[in-house]
Amino acid sequence: MKCFLFTLLLSGILLAQEKAAVDFTHLDARLQIFPEQGKVEGQLLYSFDVNQETDSVFIDARKMAFQEVLLNGKSVEYLNNGKQLILVNKLPKLKNNRLQISYSATPGQAMYFIQTETDGKEPSYQVWTQGQGKYTSNWLPSFDDTNEKLEFDLQVDYKKGKTVVANGELEETVQLNDSVVRWKYNMTAPMSSYLVAVAAGDLEKKELQTKNGTEMLFYYPPQYEQRFEPTYRYSEEIMNYFEKEIGLVYPWKNYKQVPVREFLYAGMENTGTTIFSDSFLVDSIGFNDRNYVNVNAHELAHQWFGDLVTAESGDHHWLQEGFATYYALLAEKVIFGDDYYYWKLFRSAEELKELSDSGKGESLLDPNASSLTFYQKGAWALHILKELVGKGTFDEAVKNYLEKNKFGNVTTADFLNEVEKVSDVDLTEFKKNWLQQSAFQGTEALESLKRSPFIMDYLEIAALKQLPLSEKKQLLEGALNFPVQDYVGQEVVYQLSLEDPYEAFNLYKKAFASNNLYVRQAIALSLQQIPQALKTDYESLLNDDSYVTIQAALLNLWMNFKEDRLEYLKMTEGIDGFLDKNVRIAWLALSMATPEISSAQKKEYFQELNSYTDGHQRFQVRQNAFDFLYQLGAFTDESLQNLQQATTHHNYRFREYAKAMLKTLKESGSLSEAQLEMLEN
């Protein structure tokens, strides 16, 4: 048997755990995290049952070193192939086996050690994890198979003065010595290992209890306390709504939300502990453009759809993302209204129809489908299904589906069977058209959308796009009557941007006067050649409660009216914008290009802009800085080195951006021979 195992390992074949034979039930983990070294060490105690005699037991463990492996208190022979820890002893049928493991790892992914700004002090770190299906085994010997569910209890030793967050209920904190505190978290129900999470760093928290007594804990970096309310706005309302709408009380002990730097995605629904990008830490102005509400609702919905019940395989992934997207949309409907709900359905339908018409449509049951399919087509399928069977029937089926399969794994058939039981509706055609077919059912979707009076109004205005202004002027003017509908008003403005602004002057005046934030934002984003007669109206955009509007308006005004550039810069000097400093970085670049500003000031502004490319800055800040340095043709050796360093960043999108920018700079001929040589070396 040992020779056979070695042959398999040498050939690179990974063995899957035979759940029928071996069932892991509990992990008690004691972890020590060393952020300066990018290292984690741990002592684990796994409990498992052997349900039938087996030759081997597997635990996924990537690039780890094991100091000790004990089975039921005795040393045991094991193999470590860099991807799995494999016990090669014959195990008899026996309950309550105990596997003790001591290990260390320097994770290349899944646990990230982010160094924040130092301000001349000792470097500060933020640590967070991201399992995303099968990557927890990079920092914790665990299981890449989502069907292996067990109870995970974590103790984490970390620096004194910092906060550690993990799944479950915080039982106690113990100061081990002058510099280390142990945080002990307890889970009371099983989950898949990709949902295990740890976050640590400089964090404060506020707490509340919902109507049903669910404890909600909201974390935030202490320097951003003033952003707490706008960031977490509507959180309690969303929880209360879901518990009522889904029909099941929140299934975990508590619910924590933690914003972190340099996160890979918008958010991640770790069981009871959502980790999300700190780019959603917004003030009251930023809330209007880039709020956390949708991500907040989406990740919370996952606590039922994905965490409580988990898809058996990628073939059924839509049961997680489609449901989370749909229920988040329902929550937004309660908060922002019916028009918002139908607008988001309309926009996603347009994207899905475009994908389908290009021949790239995907089945919801395709494990390799895109996010657009899993999220948006999945949400559309549920929207159509609810209309087909009725809301009461749909809600009853969802509740039954969750209760029957809680803490387990599910397939599409599990859900559809519950719907058919309650409704007595044959879902064969629904399954064929909405789940199996790659084509998007655009005609059926449009008929559903037409139930919204707002969508009918929007489509009427959108249909005017090809007409000359003289033939549609009256209808466009009517659409700008108070109160202006956000999306209809924006459509009017975008159509005006295709016309001579002097001919559309009166309509622009009316759009400005609407005082609708999003109609005015559409003007800032689309009207780049500003008529003198609209100058005063356009300047008023700099006072709008939108960082998107302010940045666009500043750029366009600066380009159009040279004589007033200093005034525009003065009006916006103290505005940073979002945490990516969108307004501030644009302001610095424009100041450097303004002739009236002194050389000494420009040097100061350039130093600030250049500093935003540094590796300790948020990658969103760095990307904005790189963009403007490129437009200015002002890359220095320092910023070029920072750009090259960014090509190895852990965030895929930023890493690919940096590679593309570096390639563009090399091919453009804008770099000196010395700079090219520096990059090569």
Taking only the tens place, the pLDDT of each residue in 233-290 is 999 999 999 999 999 999 999 999 999 999 999 999 999 999 999 999 999 999 999 9
Residue 412 domain-assigned?
yes
pLDDT in tens, 587-625: 999 999 999 999 999 999 999 999 999 999 999 999 999
**Residue 427 sits in the same domain as residue 319:** yes
pLDDT at 13 over 50: no
Q: How many domains does the chain have?
A: 4
- pLDDT at position 119 is 58
pLDDT in tens, 471-492: 999 999 999 999 999 999 999 9
Across residues 180-187, what is the average pLDDT?
98
pLDDT at 10 over 60: no
Q: Which distant-in-sequence residues (6+ apart) come within 8 Å of 232 by Cβ?
A: 218, 257, 292, 296
H-helix segments, 527-651: 535-539, 547-560, 565-571, 582-592, 599-611, 619-632, 637-646
**Residue 636 sits in the same domain as residue 545:** no
CATH of residue 105: 2.60.40.1730
Residue 260 domain-assigned?
no
Tell me the pLDDT of the chain averaged across its residues. Answer: 95
**Residue 568 sits in the same domain as residue 605:** no
**Residue 591 sits in the same domain as residue 508:** no
Residue 169 burial (C-beta neighbours within 10 Å; 0-12, 13-18, 19+)? middle
Structure tokens at 27: 């992990």
- pLDDT at position 117 is 65
**Residue 484 sits in the same domain as residue 541:** yes
DSSP designation for 138: G
pLDDT in tens, 341-354: 999 999 999 999 99
**Residue 485 sits in the same domain as residue 396:** no
**Residue 325 sits in the same domain as residue 445:** yes
pLDDT at 48 over 80: yes
Q: Using an 8 Å Cβ cutoff, are 289 and 548 in contact? A: yes
The dihedral region occupied by 279, where left means phi > 0, alpha psi between -120 and 50, and beta the remainder, is alpha
Residue 22 domain-assigned?
yes
- Greatest pairwise CA separation for the chain in angstroms: 88
Residue 109 domain-assigned?
yes
Residue of 587 and 671 predicted with greater confidence: 587
**Residue 179 sits in the same domain as residue 87:** yes
Structure tokens at 33: 């995290």
Q: What stretches of 270-382 adopt beta strand conformation (E)?
A: 273-277, 309-311
Confidence label for 636 from pLDDT (cuts 50, 70 and 90) = very high
Q: Given 425, 451, 477, which residue is the final one in a domain?
A: 451
pLDDT in tens, 118-173: 555 677 899 999 998 889 999 999 999 999 999 999 999 999 999 999 999 999 99
pLDDT in tens, 17-37: 566 789 999 999 999 999 999
Residue 564 burial (C-beta neighbours within 10 Å; 0-12, 13-18, 19+)? middle
Residue 459 domain-assigned?
no
Residue 168 CA: distances (Å) to CA of 160, 197, 307, 519, 545: 21, 10, 13, 45, 39
**Residue 635 sits in the same domain as residue 652:** yes
Confidence label for 2 from pLDDT (cuts 50, 70 and 90) = very low
Residue 276 domain-assigned?
no
Residue 511 domain-assigned?
yes
**Residue 550 sits in the same domain as residue 608:** no
DSSP designation for 13: P
Residue 194 burial (C-beta neighbours within 10 Å; 0-12, 13-18, 19+)? buried
**Dihedrals phi, psi of 629, to nearest 5 degrees:** -65, -35
- pLDDT at position 14 is 47
Q: Given 509, 539, 572, which residue is the final one in a domain?
A: 572
Q: Given 171, 187, 202, which residue is the final one in a domain?
A: 202
Residue 54 domain-assigned?
yes
Sign of CA dihedral 253, 258, 263, 265: positive
- pLDDT at position 133 is 80
Structure tokens at 440: 């998007």
Containing 422, the helix (H) or strand (E) segment is helix 412-423
Centroid of chain to Cα 121:
31
Sign of CA dihedral 6, 7, 9, 15: negative
Q: What percent of the chain has pLDDT over 90?
A: 91
CA 303/CA 310 separation, integer angstroms:
10
Q: Using an 8 Å Cβ cutoff, are 297 and 238 in contact? A: yes
Confidence label for 671 from pLDDT (cuts 50, 70 and 90) = confident
Separate counts of helices (H) and strands (E) for the chain: 27, 23
Collapse the DSSP code of 381 into the 3-class scheme (helix H, G, I; strand E, B; otherwise coil) and give the result: helix
Across residues 63-91, what is the average pLDDT?
95
- pLDDT at position 63 is 96
**Residue 397 sits in the same domain as residue 471:** no
Q: Which distant-in-sequence residues (6+ apart) come within 8 Å of 391 by Cβ?
A: none
**Residue 554 sits in the same domain as residue 612:** no
Domain that holds residue 536: 467-572
